[in-house]
Structure 1
């Protein structure tokens, strides 16, 4: 059986490392590749695949594109407004989202304190899934910290639509609400000295970046730290199980990811 991760760019992805480690640990003769698929090309790419293809992981810019072309989409994918997992079924491709449960699991691995409120640096698709995860973890108030309030509106609406009916606000990037959890979805280059100093004492910091690591924010943090690798591994686990119908060997997958990041220096 064949699987792959699709996106553009895609060469940096650690997903092949994690999934292949899982296959090896379970003795599965499966393959997992990277395939560069540009925005607008997902439907065409799916049409080229034969029955040997079992599952696909999606990264940017394909997560929202998949919502429009896959008829069978899970409830949690509809909640997030994005598909990151495609599984072949007897009637075609089914779409799911493992970013949401993966983010919840990643936070709870590292932090067991209460999460009543959260702030998110950035307002893209990752901010939507991690914001929803914060709500699942108990946050009744979420603040999106973004440079452009208008561009943050779609993400604000996605989080606000959660059945728990959280209060979701948009504020400038330099706002400093008091929260239990800070999520950073911004690149390292945007993590300025002022930003780092302002958030160093956050009770819990979840930085979705995994390369380079550590980031300026996580290097200065005094509270619990959740990494992008934590997220990647914990979202890969349910994805692996959807593809193979077997329990995922989480620790083997994590060890492979840590080794690959170490090799990158």
Structure 2
């Protein structure tokens, strides 16, 4: 599959901080399995430095993965966006696409696919009511993925409810009944009922008040915690203590990464890779200590 042009291809994941990222290991494993001699690094890039970094990439650069806080900051730099980027308001993937004598900067969102695939591969094929923790770009992707799985009711829990107004509007646009509350609100004031899933988009080191989740909820609701460093997170540890079902953020990471590899290889997240099951197996093995 490789030729002399492929050998020069350069990619990277950008963010600040970025040292914890497992994306280089995942992508390196994928390109080895595909027989591509491509190079993928982790690069510390701040919001202020992002425009110059993106616009100054030489011809051998094929694409970028973006983590926080860059998923929204990259939007003004894009020449085109996929439909999910426009819906979620954030892009985690950039493809440098030759167009005649110029090069277009195309933006994609594979986080939605990553959340949905993480749930589906762990037996969660249908949702109704969800708790969503956090209000950033990843939370928007999680809300869309939940809607794709049928969720029609969501409680969004954040530190500052005013900052989640746009996220709530997205949920209502998707046809969901949305309530927004603060972590500090009295648990007695929360909507009744046990959610099908709790999806946390919070950093892994954050510890929440135990009263936020009843023993019954932790035992019956699936937890997808997108954090993976450190793991298990404090929230995952609480769920495991209640013998509840926990899905690690590594599941989302692997699936959003396989969609990124599809984009970098074929220019389209919906085009399966050659021997994709083998590629996925290689990526999973790269995460095993």
CA distance in 2: counterparts of 1:189 and 1:65, whole angstroms: 24
The counterpart of 2:180, out of the listed 167, 170, 188, is 170
Q: 2:208 — aligned with what?
A: 191
For the Cα contact (< 8 Å) 1:102–1:232, is it kept in 2?
Answer: yes
For the Cα contact (< 8 Å) 1:81–1:158, is it kept in 2?
Answer: no
- Stretch deviating more after TM superposition (197-206 or 136-145): 197-206
Matches within 5 A, 1:232-251: 232-245=253-266, 246-247=273-274, 248=276, 249-251=279-281
- Stretch deviating more after TM superposition (10-19 or 149-158): 149-158
The counterpart of 2:37, out of the listed 29, 33, 41, is 29
Answer with 1 or 2: which has the greater Rg.
2
Q: 1:97 — aligned with what?
A: 109
Deviation readout 1:158-197 (Å, 9 max, x if unpaired): 33333xx212220232545421111112233323333455
Q: 1:214 — aligned with what?
A: 232
Matches within 5 A, 1:112-191: 112=124, 114-162=126-174, 165-173=175-183, 175=187, 176-177=190-191, 178-187=194-203, 188-191=205-208
Q: 1:56 — aligned with what?
A: 64
- Stretch deviating more after TM superposition (126-135 or 107-116): 107-116
Matches within 5 A, 1:224-239: 224-239=245-260
Q: 1:201 — aligned with what?
A: 219
Give the drift of 1:216: 2.7
CA distance in 2: counterparts of 1:146 and 1:112, whole angstroms: 24
For the Cα contact (< 8 Å) 2:62–2:95, is it kept in 1?
Answer: yes
Give the drift of 1:60: 1.0
CA distance in 2: counterparts of 1:147 and 1:228, whole angstroms: 21
TM-score normalized by the length of structure 2: 0.84
Give the drift of 1:113: 5.5
TM-score normalized by the length of structure 1: 0.91
1:113 to 1:51, Cα distance in 2 relative to 1, 3 A:
closer
Matches within 5 A, 1:245-264: 245=266, 246-247=273-274, 248=276, 249-257=279-287, 259=288, 262=289
For the Cα contact (< 8 Å) 2:152–2:176, is it kept in 1?
Answer: yes
Gaps of 5+ in 2: 1-8, 267-272
For the Cα contact (< 8 Å) 1:116–1:180, is it kept in 2?
Answer: yes
CA distance in 2: counterparts of 1:161 and 1:42, whole angstroms: 30
Aligned length: 257
For the Cα contact (< 8 Å) 1:140–1:166, is it kept in 2?
Answer: yes
